[in-house]
Amino acid sequence: PSVRPRRCRAWLEGGGEREKGTNMAGDVSQLPPQIASLCQILQSCLSPQQEVIKAAEQQLKLLEKTQGQAPNLLQIAVVEGMDMSIRQVAAISFKNLVSRGWGKEGEDNGFIPANDKDIVKQNVLLALVHSPSLVRVQIAECIKSIIYCDYPDKWPTLLEAVFNSIASQDPPKIYAGLYALRMLTRKYEYKSEEDREPLYHVVNHVFPVLIQIFQQLLATENKTLEIVEMLKLCCKIYWSTVYLSVPKLLMQEDHFHAWMNALKVLLEAQVPSDVAPACKEQWWKVKKWVLHILNKLFNKYDMKVKPDEPMYPFAVLFDTHCSCQFLQSIMTMLAGLQQGQYISQRCTNLALQYLTHAMPKKKTYAMMRPHLQQLMFNILFPLACFSDEDAELWEEDPHEYVRKGYDLLEDLYTTRSQVIHFFIDMTSCKIPCKENLPPLVNHIGSVFVQFMNTAGKENNPALERQMDGALLILGSLAEKLKNTSPYKEQVEQILHTYVAPVVNHPTGFLRAKGVWCLGMFADFKFSDGRGKGQTFSIFLSNVSARLQDPELPVRVDASVALRSFVESVKDLDLLRGVLPQLLNEFMKLINEIENDDLIHTLESIVEKFGDEIAPFAATICQQLTMSFWKCIEGDDDDDMGALATLGVLRALGTILESISSLPAMYTELEPLVFPIMYRMLSTEGQDVFEEILELISYFTYYSPVISDNMWRLWPMIVEAVHDWAVEYFENILIPLDNYISRGTERFLTCKNPDYMGSAYNLMQRVYAMDTMEEDMIPAPRLMECILLSCKGHVDQYIEPFLMLTAGKLLDPKIEKKFFLDLLIQVVANALYYNPVLTIQILQKHGLIQQVFSKWFEMIWKATKKGRVQHFKRENDKKINIIGLASILHLPIGQLPPELSAGIGQLIMGTVKLCSDLKELREEKQQS
């Protein structure tokens, strides 16, 4: 253990007090030898030579469990006279050490000595106070980790330290206290009610002074970046506190009004124009959190809360004093957009969410009503239109334009998407729809007319962008317009007159929006039919032609729109003639860009044409496999690439299903797909394991014979179950069944690998695991497959099968009826396999009485209405009948006394099952 000089120990163990006029750790030149040595190691981490860095990192690793290492790193990180780069490396090393060595919540498994932990906890808040930003961010992360692990039981002094920091009137200390309080409340953000008691203690103790600090910060005239960051922390503290439920203190009217007034002041505050960009950015982040809070309170604690629910008093307060007042503030804020004022995209999005929540509520809608049309046409409609940012991305990076347009996560946060959600939700509310849909449709129509009146004249970029917004809203409201008079009577004319011509417009983004809009109406019943007729054919041709558009986003939108036409088409001849060209364009596009929606369209085409796709199957599979490897070799963190990978595998499965009547095709396609199956049966393929198993199932079921390569996959499947894929046992059962039933001889005779032995070990392991009954269901089904497919060849496994089965069947903890049915059916299948051998084994282990008593109890068990509780399916009844009939087929002299004495019961049980089977078949015929 390191021995520290008096001055260092005073800082580390003295609760953070430091001598007046000195650095926190004293003069750098007078650092203790241990810390000086550690500084040299940290300095080596900054070396330009890789071997020096590795050696230094190894030294740090060796020192991790040394007494004093954590406090020493923290001390170096906050020494004021130390080189900043060394302080930063020390802070990062401290963070990594805390992350690895402190332990986890609810566990006592950290390797940092307890005394060191105490020293760190005594000083870490003060360290945050005296750290520059580069160091502070690392120490802050450590505070979070320590709070999550130790509070409240192992850090009982934290709450008082937080209180003292917040109440200190010293801004750096206030910041440190607010940050720690934020981590405290965040720890309980998602905790259930029974685990939130420590949070309520924090609220009662600290929030009375917290609201005062919040108000003081708001009242500060010169709001620096630090002040704004503290305002943001106050908002985030409140957010975490009320996320699941509102503590009683915050339901008290004085506290409620204090917080709501503060939030309102913050929401309405003008962002200073004369501050640095970083400060402006923080201001909008603060407003973002205010809007987060308001949406949460408005949506979660509205007047739908019942009077007997704990949150009812809060709901009444918010409805009475806040819902309309905040709505007014938000509408005023959004009105600034019309005057060209800046509002961050995220704040605009959240403001629109509040308006969307307000729409169905009578009181808030009454306030919105006089301003709604101005809001729709002057504020929301422009937000729906093609923007400067869109134009820049379209020109400079069309691939990224497509990615953003089809990214579901991006869609959650874009203002344009929230505008569309607002319009869609408006049309789902009776009164708002009745009052506002007609003027909205008229506005769209006026844009259409104005645009068409300028056709052939000089380009009007502003009007083109308005046309884009009008098409977007029209397509987004398609479901409402297709089913509502008088609009549904006008749809066909609107599409003919205004939408279809845009598909050939010189401006690319209009062509893209035009084909997308046609796709939204593809399933509409036109005057000459749904999915057929001249109108449908014209629109289909318009969309198909854009697959060869010179601009990538147009081609992608056309391919996605085509899916709607393919799914709606009734007359396949409309597509059959152009199928080769369609598939050719799709293959080019899939090779050019990763997009899950493209794969969906391809799947739709394959499903629609079935085995007619066979002439193109090899080409499609070749292209899809190339696309798959491209996705796999791409960025590991690319979510769109992961979705595209999944889509490719699904498309391959769809193609394999479509050629099921052509077994020879599987032999041709297997070399293309096998490398994918082989690679993805490892842990690398965990996210697509089900899709890989589906591909294996097709090849093992439909191929003329199971190839040597496909047999190579059996050991990999079994190994995956043993290692990590036990929850996929039911999916695995399908290909295993195929191997056993279609390759029985190889399954039985091959010993390297031992397929039969590995199958038994698999079932044995699943039964031995402490797992849910549902997870064990595939085991008896696999036994059934072996007994039926390998009759007369697995005598040596009958006894192990029966012992595993009886162990579960007679276990009183096993209650799931279907699982019990399958266990009995193993016995029935064993009797069918070899009744004499099966009876001998049961008799040998003294199980005849227990097994057959359980069996007949299940046969006769019924509900109060007389419905059977076991063996409900036709196949279940058949297996039971065959098993019992196998006993009845034996001479009575060969039966042991336990069975011969109950021969009448055997006959009655068999007759009962036959009667139930007959009744079930009659019910099916009648239905």
C-alpha distances out from residue 244 to 185, 186, 263, 292, Å: 12, 11, 19, 14
* Token output for 234: 């106050």
**DSSP H or E segment with residue 3:** none
* Token output for 585: 């364009």
Instruction: Report the C-alpha gap between 46 and 39 in whole angstroms.
Output: 11
- The whole-number pLDDT of residue 1 equals 28
Task: Determine what percent of the chain is predicted with pLDDT higher than 90.
Answer: 79
Confidence of residue 110 (pLDDT cuts 50, 70, 90): confident
Cis peptide upstream of residue 800 (ω within 30 degrees of 0): no
Evaluate whether 866 touches 822 at the Cβ level (below 8 Å). Answer: no
Residue 272: DSSP 8-state:
P
Q: Where are the beta strands (DSSP E) in 803-898?
A: none
Mean pLDDT taken over the chain: 91
Instruction: Report the C-alpha gap between 413 and 348 in whole angstroms.
Output: 10
- CA 549 to chain CA centroid, Å, is 34
Confidence of residue 510 (pLDDT cuts 50, 70, 90): very high
Once rounded to an integer, what is the mean pLDDT over residues 724-748? 95
- The whole-number pLDDT of residue 530 equals 94
Instruction: Report the C-alpha gap between 374 and 354 in whole angstroms.
Output: 17
- The whole-number pLDDT of residue 4 equals 32
Once rounded to an integer, what is the mean pLDDT over residues 873-880? 96
- The whole-number pLDDT of residue 69 equals 93
Confidence of residue 15 (pLDDT cuts 50, 70, 90): very low
Neighbours of 894 (CB within 10 A): 12
Instruction: Report the C-alpha gap between 175 and 519 in whole angstroms.
Output: 54
Neighbours of 458 (CB within 10 A): 5
**DSSP H or E segment with residue 230:** helix 225-242
- Which residue's structure tokens are 């030294």? 59
Evaluate whether 158 touches 118 at the Cβ level (below 8 Å). Answer: no
Three-state DSSP state, 868: strand
Evaluate whether 508 touches 553 at the Cβ level (below 8 Å). Answer: yes
| Least confidently predicted of 1-10, 431-440, 509-518 | 1-10
Three-state DSSP state, 372: helix
Instruction: Report the C-alpha gap between 351 and 327 in whole angstroms.
Output: 9
Instruction: Report the C-alpha gap between 27 and 236 in whole angstroms.
Output: 38
Instruction: Report the C-alpha gap between 2 and 20 in whole angstroms.
Output: 26
Question: Does 643 have pLDDT greater than 90?
Answer: no
pLDDT in tens, 378-427: 999 999 999 999 999 999 999 999 989 988 878 888 999 999 999 999 99
- CA 253 to chain CA centroid, Å, is 39
- The whole-number pLDDT of residue 593 equals 85
Query: The dihedral of CA 695, 697, 702, 704: what is its sign?
Result: positive
Evaluate whether 165 touches 125 at the Cβ level (below 8 Å). Answer: yes
What Rg, from alpha-carbon coordinates, does the chain have? Answer: 36
* Token output for 241: 């506190």
∠ CA 109-115-118, rounded to 5°: 90
Instruction: Report the C-alpha gap between 170 and 130 in whole angstroms.
Output: 12
Question: Does 27 have pLDDT greater than 80?
Answer: no
Instruction: Report the C-alpha gap between 409 and 922 in whole angstroms.
Output: 52
Confidence of residue 650 (pLDDT cuts 50, 70, 90): very high
Once rounded to an integer, what is the mean pLDDT over residues 501-517? 97
pLDDT in tens, 128-140: 998 888 899 999 9
Evaluate whether 95 touches 141 at the Cβ level (below 8 Å). Answer: yes
Dump the DSSP string for 69-124.
HHHHHHHHHH-TTS-HHHHHHHHHHHHHHHHHHS--TT-----S-HHHHHHHHHHH
Question: Does 749 have pLDDT greater than 60?
Answer: yes
pLDDT in tens, 695-726: 999 999 999 999 999 999 999 999 999 999 88
Once rounded to an integer, what is the mean pLDDT over residues 885-898? 93
List, in order, residues 6 or more apart from 309 with CB less than 8 Å away: none
Question: Does 303 have pLDDT greater than 90?
Answer: no
Question: Does 636 have pLDDT greater than 90?
Answer: no
Evaluate whether 18 touches 11 at the Cβ level (below 8 Å). Answer: yes
Confidence of residue 641 (pLDDT cuts 50, 70, 90): low
Task: Name, of 302-316, 604-618, 729-743, 892-906, the range with top average pLDDT.
Answer: 729-743
The percent helix, strand, coil of the chain (3-state, each to 5) is: 75, 0, 25
Evaluate whether 63 touches 9 at the Cβ level (below 8 Å). Answer: no
- The whole-number pLDDT of residue 771 equals 80
Q: Where are the beta strands (DSSP E) in 870-913?
A: none
- If we measure between CA atoms, which residue out of 572, 484, 559 comes closest to residue 524? 484
- The whole-number pLDDT of residue 383 equals 96
Count of positions (residues) in the chain: 927
**DSSP H or E segment with residue 61:** helix 50-63
Confidence of residue 631 (pLDDT cuts 50, 70, 90): confident
| Least confidently predicted of 424-433, 586-595, 849-858, 902-911 | 586-595
Once rounded to an integer, what is the mean pLDDT over residues 49-56? 93
Question: Does 178 have pLDDT greater than 60?
Answer: yes
Q: Which residue has the higher pLDDT, 11 or 29?
A: 29
Once rounded to an integer, what is the mean pLDDT over residues 824-840? 98
Residues pairing with 526 in the sheet = 529
Neighbours of 61 (CB within 10 A): 12
Instruction: Report the C-alpha gap between 300 and 206 in whole angstroms.
Output: 25
Q: Which residue has the higher pLDDT, 35 or 390?
A: 390
Instruction: Report the C-alpha gap between 701 and 663 in whole angstroms.
Output: 9
Residue 307: DSSP 8-state:
T
Evaluate whether 218 touches 231 at the Cβ level (below 8 Å). Answer: yes
C-alpha distances out from residue 359 to 327, 347, 417, 553, Å: 11, 19, 17, 34
Once rounded to an integer, what is the mean pLDDT over residues 435-461? 92
Question: Does 20 have pLDDT greater than 50?
Answer: no
Confidence of residue 6 (pLDDT cuts 50, 70, 90): very low
Task: Determine what percent of the chain is predicted with pLDDT higher than 70.
Answer: 95
C-alpha distances out from residue 109 to 61, 99, 137, 150, 795, Å: 18, 12, 25, 12, 50
Once rounded to an integer, what is the mean pLDDT over residues 896-914? 93
- The whole-number pLDDT of residue 29 equals 58
Instruction: Report the C-alpha gap between 823 and 259 in whole angstroms.
Output: 62
Question: Does 195 have pLDDT greater than 70?
Answer: yes
Dump the DSSP string for 469-537.
HHHHHHHHTHHHHHTSTTTTTTHHHHIIIIIGGGGG-SSHHHHHHHHHHHHHTTTS-BTTBSS-HHHHH
Three-state DSSP state, 754: strand
pLDDT in tens, 794-809: 999 999 999 999 999 9
Confidence of residue 647 (pLDDT cuts 50, 70, 90): confident
Instruction: Report the C-alpha gap between 489 and 534 in whole angstroms.
Output: 18
- The whole-number pLDDT of residue 222 equals 87
- The whole-number pLDDT of residue 274 equals 85
Query: The dihedral of CA 221, 224, 225, 226: what is its sign?
Result: negative
Question: How many helices (DSSP H) and strands (DSSP E) are in the chain?
Answer: 51, 0
- The whole-number pLDDT of residue 846 equals 95
Whether this prediction's pTM lies above 0.75 is answered by yes
Torsion angle of C-alpha atoms 521, 523, 529, 532, degrees rounded to 10: 100
Instruction: Report the C-alpha gap between 280 and 208 in whole angstroms.
Output: 29
| Least confidently predicted of 104-108, 176-180, 809-813, 877-881 | 104-108
- The whole-number pLDDT of residue 310 equals 86
Confidence of residue 639 (pLDDT cuts 50, 70, 90): low
